[in-house]
Every structure is written in C-alpha cells, then in structure tokens.
Amino acid sequence: MKTAHLALRGAALATVVVLGATACGSGDSASTANPKVTVILGTASDSFYNTLGCGAKAEGKKLGATVDVQGATTFDPATQTPILTSTVAKKPNAIVIAPTDSKALGTPLKQANEAGIKIVTADTGLDDTSFLSSAVSSNNVEGGAEAARTLAELVGEKGKVVIIGGTPGVTTADQRIKGFEDEIKKYPNISFVGVQPSTPSGGVVEAARLTAASLSKDPDLAGIFSISTPASDGANNAIKDAGKVGKIKVVGFDAGPAQVEQLKKGTVQALIAQKAEEIGAQAVRQAVNAIQGKKVTKSIGTSFVSITAANLGDADVSKYVYRSTC
C-alpha cells in the first residue's frame, strides 16, 4: 500500500471554491443587534453533523449571534420536516439546514424564506436554490473522484469494486457517486460492479446487509467505497464477519471516532474527511451576513483531507477527525 503517496495526495486536496458574492438588502436593527440562527442538522446522531454544529456555534459566538442547533435522530425527511416546522414557528432570522431530501424540503424552506427567514444550506443541498442566501458544502464530486483514485491505488488498479450506501435524492450521495463513477472508468482493469443504495433510515444494519450481499454476489471483490459514516460502519461489520479484514480494501467517506478506530485496526485503509467545522462556520457567517445586509457568497465549496494510518498522527490531518461533542 502506497501510504506515503496517499498522504501527500491528501494535502493536494486543500482547495476552496467560492462563487458568486452578492449583497443583500439591509436588515432591521433588531435583527442585526443579536441575530438568531437555527441550525438544523441532517441528523444529531452523526459525528460529522455534530462537528458541523460545533463550527456553527463557535462562529455564532464570534459574530455575536445566538445559534440554536437542532437535529433528528435519523437522516430522514419524515423526521426532519417537523423540526423545520417548529423552527419556522419560532421565527429565527435565519435557518441553516442540511436538507435530507433535495426535493421534499424545498417547498417548506421556500415558504419560510417568503415569511422573511434567510435560508442557507450546509452540506446537502436543494434542487431549487433560487431563494437561498448561500449554499455551503464540500465539493462532493471531487470527493468521490478522490475516493476512486485512492481505492484504485489500494487494489493495485485491478479487480472488482463496489459502492456501499447512498440514498437517491440526497445531493451529497448523488455527487459522490458521480465523481467515483466518472473517475473509476479511467482504470481499464477495474470492474465497477455498481452501487448498493441505502434507504434514508437504513443505517449501519442495512449497510452491513448490503455489504454481505455484495460479498456473496462477488466473492472475489477487491474493494469497497463506503459513501457515509453508517455505510463505513456497516461495511466494517460485514467484512469482519466474513473474515476478510485486510483482504478487501475499503475507502470510507467521513472520519468519525468509529471510522478512525477502523482505520487503526486495518478494516478500513483510507478515509476521505470533510472539513465539517469549516462548513458549519461558513454557513453561519453567510447567514449572519444575509441578516445584516452584508455581502454574501452564493456558493462555497470546501475541500477534503485524505487520512491514512500513516498520516493520522500529523496535527494538520488529525484536526479534521470528527467529534461527538464540542
């Protein structure tokens, strides 16, 4: 395994894309004196979103804003929508949200905006972005492409590979899959056997079942790209149960405490970490700017860090490991 090369590649991902700075109308004095921002996470049970929330709170404190962080226990529009409804009733100046469905959340968020609430998406996005003050997320297409390059190197650029997880209609999943599929085509000796998609509330158990089914269908499977934290955890469990730790190479997306332990134990060989705190901080900053009538940036893309066992001890890498609490 060319871990030194993988570590160096991680540093090369440190780029930020910023598009479309615009100015908003001026906010009223009550709003600007102490802006109230509610952050609605994709789920409160995921270390990536908890870390994003930490970044949002820290930025709010810096800017003199009151930031309230909410989140359902599952990544599902059915559980997120009631939280959004109750938040709108409280009339914050802005809502920062990671939509759990790019279509289903669009209408209620547009209605909230029409009621005078600024809307910023963080991480996941919407199909209709016309009413958003800003959209902040990782460059997920590039993240998927980096996962493909990393996995290709780990499997020696040959053999069968599969994607585990990813719910259709979730923008981050769709983009990661696209990036992976487009990049993996560049390796003629790698056979991409497809995507095993997950349901919104399937979680770790479903990901383990999908991985086990993939191993049964393709006993000679060489590599797995697990597209999210639950997908990584499920793949980890299934690989251990099959007695194939180290034999099947795994690239996980996200870098929570459990994923880092998997990396240390060799079940997972590389993690593509998002800059979760930066996403949360940028989203709150844009929300406050919108409230105060300052210039906002319509689209902000943050970069990734590729984490391996070889570079995990580096301070400039380990700081991107997610945490469960602030």
User: Looking at the predicted structure, is the pLDDT value of residue 256 above 80?
Assistant: yes
Domains identified in the chain and CATH numbers: 18-138+275-302 (3.40.50.2300), 140-274 (3.40.50.2300)
DSSP string computed for 80-130: HHHHHHHHHHT--SEEEE--SSTTTTHHHHHHHHHTT-EEEEESS--S--T
Rg over alpha carbons for the chain, rounded to the nearest Å, is 20
What pLDDT is stored for residue 53 in this prediction? 98
pLDDT band at 31 (very low <50, low <70, confident <90, very high): low
- Find the helix or strand (DSSP H, E) in which 1 lies: none
Do the beta carbons of residue 153 and residue 5 sit within 8 Å? yes
| Terminal-to-terminal C-alpha distance of the chain | 34
Residue that is written with structure tokens 């998002």 in the block? 274
What pLDDT is stored for residue 28 in this prediction? 54
Both structure tokens of 240: 């251990």
Please tell me the distance from the alpha carbon of residue 278 to that of residue 99, in angstroms, as a whole number: 18
Q: Give 10-15's long-range contacts (Cβ < 8 A, gap of 24+).
A: 10/304, 10/305, 10/306, 10/307, 10/308, 10/311, 10/317, 13/142, 13/146, 13/303, 13/304, 13/305, 13/306, 14/303, 14/305, 15/303
Torsion (CA) 177, 181, 183, 188 in degrees, nearest 10: 150
Do the beta carbons of residue 261 and residue 288 sit within 8 Å? no
Percent of the chain with pLDDT over 90: 78
- Closest to 239 in 3D by CA, of 261, 219, 264, 256: 219
pLDDT band at 10 (very low <50, low <70, confident <90, very high): very low
Fill in the amino acid letter for 284.
V
**Full-model pTM:** 0.80
pLDDT, tens digit, 9 for 90 and up, residues 210-246: 999 999 999 999 999 999 888 999 999 999 999 999 9
Length of the chain: 326
Please tell me the distance from the alpha carbon of residue 298 to that of residue 20, in angstroms, as a whole number: 5
Taking residues 277-289, report their average pLDDT: 98
